[in-house]
Chains A and B, each alone.
Chain A
Amino acid sequence: MFTRSLILFAFAIVAGVPARVEAGCCFSTTATTTARLATWEKGVAGLSASYVRELGYFSSAARAVPLGAGTADQQLRFDLFGLVRVTDALTLSLLMPLSMNARSASGVFALGGGLGDIAVGARYDLLQFDHSNRPGLALIAGIAIPTGRAIGAAERALAVDATGRGTAILNLGVSTEWASEPWFVRGDLVGGIPMPTAQDGTWAWLSPTLDLTLMGGVRAHRYLFFGAIARFGVQLPTRSQAFGYDMALGGGVALKPDPQWAVLVNVSVSLFAPGAGMNRNAPLTASLALRYAAW
């Protein structure tokens, strides 16, 4: 989830031309909700390549447990991303992830992957983030379609062919942003509601989630941006899944040498310390994103 946040964060800090409008543009907290277009943009296409390495996991007692010696869990992920403006206030989005997993343990190495869960989303701007000093406010909604292979259906060793959650996930949230040139901030609060699934005659219900993402950045030069992102996520307990939470921090540098093209490099890391998480994985992520805008 945080990986996707960073991917869209890449788009966020590089879009647009007028500094205060472009600075906070196109943020999103999840892949299933939409990023934002600059007010003059009609559409955006993006591609991101991410490398993810699991540092370990948080136990049910909130212990940070590193992966064992000889164990590695890595992922190379590509996300194709598109945004299109329908009206001044309404934007639709599409995200198609492709991933390759590489895992090793106990002398076994396995490689596999494929198409992940395709996500579609919509964003409706109640208050347009424009040249005025008022903050922007938007409603965001989306759904992740279970086009990937769930871990329960994985067949290869170490489940390297698992690329999806195995159920549709509905996302609803709000997004707000504000800028005072050259600085900008943005906050997103998004809830995820997995649909129940039938497995072997019983119902399984993955945890509803709630993610708070805070982002901020500065325009250091006409072509250069710096940004930071912090996220806190909670998963609520269900019959099938335990309560959990985690925190992560990240930072990025964006370069926009052309009005339509932008490139961003960013890194994020889970706060891998005792008490900083529970029942969640702890990934380190590095991403390179490319964005093209049309108007």
Chain B
Amino acid sequence: MKLAYAFWGLAFLAACGPSPTPASSDGLRVELAFESGEAALGDNTLLVRVYDQGDRPMDAEVTMHLHMPAHGHDHGDAKPPELTRRDTGVYALSPVRFSMAGEWRVHVKCNCPMGNGEAEQMVMVR
């Protein structure tokens, strides 16, 4: 499944830690983690886990947006990552490509008939 892309022109106020920050939730909880443990310059695999209100894994449609607030651009790569379903409610996005060192905002949206959810994570790419 190909991902849909859009630019996120959000104001950037402060750095966040490496743990995901739920942006909003309406029935779904979304967790993000990089497969290698941390984001690195170049290609990465981002794991997305989706749960319902009972913390049960839930399949959903997943979309992702990358933005670099310091430089005002997106992921800088014409090739979108592939979305692979690994298990119920578990998806891998690859390659998530960070084209330069710095702070990036990763924003993931998940939608399914049970509801929707979002997660946002600031990552420091070195």
A244→B15 CA distance, assembly (Å): 13
Contact with B along A61-91 (1 / 0, CB 8 A): 1010111100101000000000000000000
Q: A59-B103, A162-B99 are in contact. Are A108 and B7 (CB under 8 A)?
A: no
Output the least CB separation between B64 and chain A (Å).
Answer: 14
Per the CB 8 Å criterion, the residue count for chain A at the interface is 47
- Per-residue CB proximity of A168-203 to B under 8 Å, as 1/0? 000000000000000000000000000000011011
Q: Which of B51-59, B75-83, B85-93 contacts A (4 or more CB under 8 A)?
A: B75-83
Stretch at the interface among B25-33, B35-43, B109-117: B35-43
Is the interface on chain B under 10, 10 to 19, 20 to 34, or 35 or more residues?
20 to 34
Set of chain B residues within 8 Å of A63, measured between Cβ atoms: 15
Q: A204: CB under 8 A from chain B?
A: yes
Q: Would A202 and B7 be within 8 Å (CB), given that A60-B12, A155-B78, A159-B76 are in contact?
A: yes
Q: What are 28 A-B residue pairs whose CB atoms fall within 8 Å in the complex? A: A56-B126, A57-B101, A59-B124, A60-B12, A61-B14, A65-B124, A65-B126, A67-B101, A67-B126, A68-B40, A68-B101, A71-B126, A103-B41, A106-B40, A106-B42, A151-B76, A158-B41, A158-B99, A166-B73, A199-B7, A237-B11, A241-B72, A242-B72, A244-B70, A279-B71, A279-B102, A280-B70, A281-B102
Residues of B within 8 A of A (CB): 5-7, 9-15, 40-43, 69-74, 76-79, 97, 99-103, 124, 126
